Amino acid sequence: MSHDHRHDPAKDDGPPSEHEILSRALQEVLEEKGLVTAERVRKRMELFEAEFPQRGSRVIAHAWANPAFRKRLLADGKAACAEWGLDLEADRLIAVENTPHVHNVIVCTLCSCYPRALLGMPPTWYKSENYRRRVVREPRAVLREFGTVIPDDVSIRVHDSNADMRYVVVPMRPKGTEGWDEEQLAAILTRDTLVGVALPRV
């Protein structure tokens, strides 16, 4: 049984905190009892690091480029992704589209539910108590703190992912992207635009 995670001082940032030690202890005890393997944990880490964060911008870029896919994505996000070859694992995806009249923004007030298999790990601000407290009650002011100004005549729709569904925003495709290929489109679909706190910029 390999324990290479025990000796990686290059990856540690200074002396370990109490919780870092606790986390390692939990993992090692579970490994020794045969309940998890280091290999499995390592593979999950790789998925979260390398695979999941790439997906969201590619899916939404494809929706921008392909109206039939967009329609299917909006009808049933998980099924559309599955047809496209993307397994979202446990995430049941609902895609919500921005229009000239509606801007969408996502939160999980109760914890940090987030479409991880599509976007990777949520950013620290998404998990922060102040985002969870305020975006449901004053979304316009919160968006301004992110440097995003939503015009007064555009309605805001906040989605609190409090149960079994996970959400992604389909931003409006900006002017100046005509004729762009999907790779170029994906490059402006940053994570923040897919959660709704930013708008794609050409």
Residues 55-94 contacting other proteins, CB under 8 A: 76-79, 82-83, 89-90, 92-94
Where would I find the beta strands (DSSP E) of 70-154?
A: 92-97, 102-107
* Minimal distance, residue 25 CB to other proteins, in Å: 4
43: helix, coil or strand? Answer: helix
Stated as kind and residue range, the H or E segment containing 165 is strand 165-170
Q: Is 74 exposed, middle or buried (0-12, 13-18, 19+ CB in 10 A)?
A: middle
Among 44-52, 55-63, 168-176, 180-188, which window interacts with other proteins (CB under 8 A)? 44-52
Q: Which of 2, 42, 71, 202 binds other proteins (CB under 8 A)?
A: 42
Cα angle vertex 119, ends 111, 69, to 5°?
A: 120
Choice among 111, 128, 155, 161 that is catalytic: 111
Note if 111 is an active site residue: yes
- Judge whether 38 and 1 are in contact, CB under 8 Å: yes
Shortest Cβ distance from residue 174 to other proteins (Å)?
Answer: 21
Could you say which residues in the range 141-170 bind other proteins, by CB under 8 A?
142, 145-147, 152-165
CB of 176 to other proteins, least distance (A): 25
Q: Which residues are known catalytic residues?
A: 108, 111-113
